Structures are given as structure tokens and as C-alpha cells.
Structure 1
């Protein structure tokens, strides 16, 4: 069984296939009820179903990246369950925090503006400033979550670390974080972007070998190109948000999803979204 976290991956065909899953939002009961949805979502079931479907596809999986919001309630037992499920795949994996992993939401029955958000320490297994090396790529994992906050931030010391890594290694680079760093053109979710996204892009501009940024948080898919970098956001393994909505809204027609990324030895990347079949 591969040790955690993944640090080095190498294949004879010089291609790395990454499965990105994000925003599982598991709770102790693993069930989320919401009047707006008119039904119950078993996030635990959908997490397991997404993982099973992806790993039964006709594609080798070399790495599983989990990009935050693993839980809805910060409880060690939930992380224990998630890590058991991921370890049982025998595939190298790595997990980073999302806002729900460092924030407890109180009074959830009240309107959103009246709820309280309490800072919590991140589970020790969630990574920051972590590098996964392959023969032809470097994969850089960052924690953009701010305890007690929904919006994210990449702090200055983390930006310094990124610049140092990119300066000393000229392999094509992929950065993974939870919060989005490009606008989704949805007023409510863009309130909770990484607050210093503009500074992030300014600091990254000198590094032409930065090829890809991936994130979660938005519960929807988007592909964009910015300053020569391809930016992918990825659906949740559970419930989805309506794209381009000014006010909070679920996308009741969108199924849980996940993203595949193929990193080639020439620095090119191919990526696509798959949705849960059932």
C-alpha cells in the first residue's frame, strides 16, 4: 500500500493520470437534508460511488488529488473514514483543506447572514506546501483555507514558497488548491474567491512553466485560460451549484462529478469531467 502522502510518481509510459475529487462534504450521519432540494443527499454514498466509477474506467489512475471540503462537520472520525476508503484503493493520494475543513458553521437553520463561523484547526493529514514529483512534472499543493472564513487566501509566505519551488525546478507545474483564483461570474460564489487572487497571478507571471491550476469550492465545472495557464474548476462529488447565478442556487439537474487530468511528458495536459452514471 502506498505511503501517505504521495511524494514521487513514475511510470514507464511517461504519462501521469490524475483523478481529482473535491467537495465531498461528509458529516457524521453522511446525510444532508435540504428543503430547497426537496430530497436527501447521501454524500457518503455518492463519494464512494464516484470513486468506484472512476476507478472502474478504462484508464490507469496514478494519483488521487482531493481538493478540499472533505467534511461538513470537523470530526476526526469522518477523516478516518475518508482516509480508510482512499488508502484501500492502493493508489497514491493527497488531500488539502477547504473552508469547511477549518470552519465550524453554527445555527445552520438560520439565514446565511445570521450564521456563526468558528475557526477550527485542520486535520493533520491535510497538506500545505507539499510537492509531488514526477519524471516530467511537479505538482504543488497549497492550503487556501482561512480558519473561520468561507473565502480563501494564499498567504504571502505560501506565495514565497511557490515562487521558490518554481524558481528552482523548471519542470511543467500544476498547482492544486481549494478556492478559485478566477471569477466564476456568479456574484455569490465570487464573494468567496481567494481574496488575493490578483496577487497570486502577479507572483506567478514570471513562470512560463506553470501550466495548470486546479481547484474545487465552486461545485461546478469551468475551463479557462489566463496568462498562459489553464485553470480548471471541478464539480462536487455530492451536490452542485447553479452556474452564473447571482444568488445562491443549487443546480438540481447536474450530477456529482470528478475530473481526469493526463499530464504528458512534453508538458501538455488533457482534462475532462465525468459525471456519476446513476
Structure 2
């Protein structure tokens, strides 16, 4: 069940894992540079971080699920690294099709920031996958990633599991975006179906909210920290929504409660 994140939790709060998912920030090297619709992507990400810190329960950790940088420029990653030093939360990063995984590995592994692909916290395991195809917008999980996923799940059947990747493994009903999804989703799901501890799959790439369920597993697409795309559109089209992010509360019994949040438009337009 996916329920609003802001209801009162009656169980022991210390037993829950609170995850903040950020995605598709498209940061630029030049701090004054603008992207879509006069957007300063650094400013929009700062606005999102400030919104998170205003929450009653900001989270236990942050997962950034790809397209961190628009052009994979080292200055963009360096800015993120430096900004995250003051968050007081561990930050885990996985690559998107706009990113350079090698460069991310060189820069985004310091202090509280990491590209570590496997996280264990309380009775949950979080698995971060690399679904990018170099110089292509679509996604693919190569044999190495599928083997890593299989080993991680097989080794900890006792832990509820949440899987993160950049590309959507299901169609979202937007033809231009569906052409850029995970191209071997059949293999991905065939593997996951062997492991009942998998409770959810979360991704970015689509710049919009999406939720469905498959065999009891929550499938969640999330909004971008910069611009959003119009759901159900046949072609690229920007929505009139501010930058967003997703919060997930993971309960000891495997239930996932989640909600997406948005920041007012005037906070981020350059």
C-alpha cells in the first residue's frame, strides 16, 4: 500500500527507515547557467534541499537516482559534493544517461557522499543499479548488474529490499518517454520474481510522478529536482510544476509509505 507520508506513525519511529529520493537535477558547471525555461538547476536543487530540511522527519538517507549533471561536467559533481557536506545525512548516488559513472566515482566518494551500490539499514536493503547505455537515452541492465542484483538478493533473504535505478522498467503511458525505458525489463522482472523480499522499485528519468503495482511490488517513478514533464504526452512537454522529490517511509513489516513534494515555482526560476 502506498499512503500519504504525512499521517501520524503510531509504531516506534526508530524502527522505520526514512529515505529521500532526489533525481534528474541536471546540474551545470557554470553556477549562473540556465537550462529549460530559464531554469537554474543549482537553485532548484537548493530549494528542494531546503524544503526537505523543513520536514519534521527529514530522513535517514538520500538517494540521488541519476542525471545528476546535464553534461557530466566535473564542476557539477564537485558542487553537489560540497553542498551535501552540510546536510548531515548520508547521500548515495547512481548514474543516469546524462552522467559519467567513472567521473562520479572519482568525485562523489567523500565524507557523507558515496556511489556505493548496496546499503543495509535496520531490516532493509537498498540496491542501487547502473542502467545506463553510454551515449544513449534508453536503459539496459548488463549481465554484471543483473548478477550483482541476484547475489545481493540471494545473500539477504531476511531483509526487505528496495531497488533503485534510473530508467523505468515499465511503460508510463507517454510514448516519447516509453521509447527510452529499460530495454531488458523482462530479464529484470524474471530475476526479481524469484525473491519475495523485494517490496519496491524506484526510478527517475521520467520527470513526473508514477505509481503502479506488480505482483505486490510497488513501482514508483519520481519528479525531478528541476522541471517536470506532462504525463501522458506524446512529445516532450513541460508541466507547470516546480521542482520535486519523493520521500519514502519503510516499515519493519515491508510496507512502503510514500509521497512526492513540490517547491513553489517562484523559488527556482532564474
What do residues 107-141 of structure 1 show as CA deviations (whole Å, max 9, x unaligned)?
A: xxxxxxxxxxxxx8542138777211012110011
Name 2:3's counterpart in structure 1. Answer: none
CA–CA distance in 2 between the matches of 1:176 and 1:231? 10
TM-score (norm 1): 0.84
Unaligned runs of 5+ in 2: 1-11
What do residues 194-247 of structure 1 show as CA deviations (whole Å, max 9, x unaligned)?
A: 111111011111111100111000000011101221011110010111111111
Name 2:104's counterpart in structure 1. Answer: 123
Q: CA deviation at 1:87?
A: 2.1
Name 2:187's counterpart in structure 1. Answer: 199
Unaligned runs of 5+ in 1: 1-10, 103-119
Name 2:24's counterpart in structure 1. Answer: 23
Q: CA deviation at 1:77?
A: 1.5
Name 2:54's counterpart in structure 1. Answer: 56
Name 1:155's counterpart in structure 2. Answer: 142
**Greater relative contact order structure (CA < 8 Å, 6+ sep):** 2
- Matching residue within 204, 211, 214 for 1:226: 214
TM-score (norm 2): 0.86
Name 2:4's counterpart in structure 1. Answer: none
Judge conservation of contact 1:128–1:143 (CA < 8 Å) in 2: no
Name 1:272's counterpart in structure 2. Answer: 259
What do residues 25-80 of structure 1 show as CA deviations (whole Å, max 9, x unaligned)?
A: 0112243344xx4xx11111010010111111111410011000011122112101
Name 1:32's counterpart in structure 2. Answer: 34
CA–CA distance in 2 between the matches of 1:129 and 1:186? 32
Change in Cα spacing, 1:187 to 1:12, as seen in structure 2 (3 Å) is closer
SS at match of 1:90: coil
Q: Give the CA RMSD over aligned residues.
A: 1.8
Name 2:126's counterpart in structure 1. Answer: 139
Name 1:100's counterpart in structure 2. Answer: 98
SS at match of 1:232: strand
Name 2:67's counterpart in structure 1. Answer: 69
Name 1:261's counterpart in structure 2. Answer: 248
Q: CA deviation at 1:274?
A: 0.7
SS at match of 1:123: helix
Judge conservation of contact 2:63–2:91 (CA < 8 Å) in 1: yes
Segments of 4+ moved more than 3 angstroms: 125-129
Judge conservation of contact 1:32–1:42 (CA < 8 Å) in 2: yes
Name 1:114's counterpart in structure 2. Answer: none
Name 1:90's counterpart in structure 2. Answer: 88
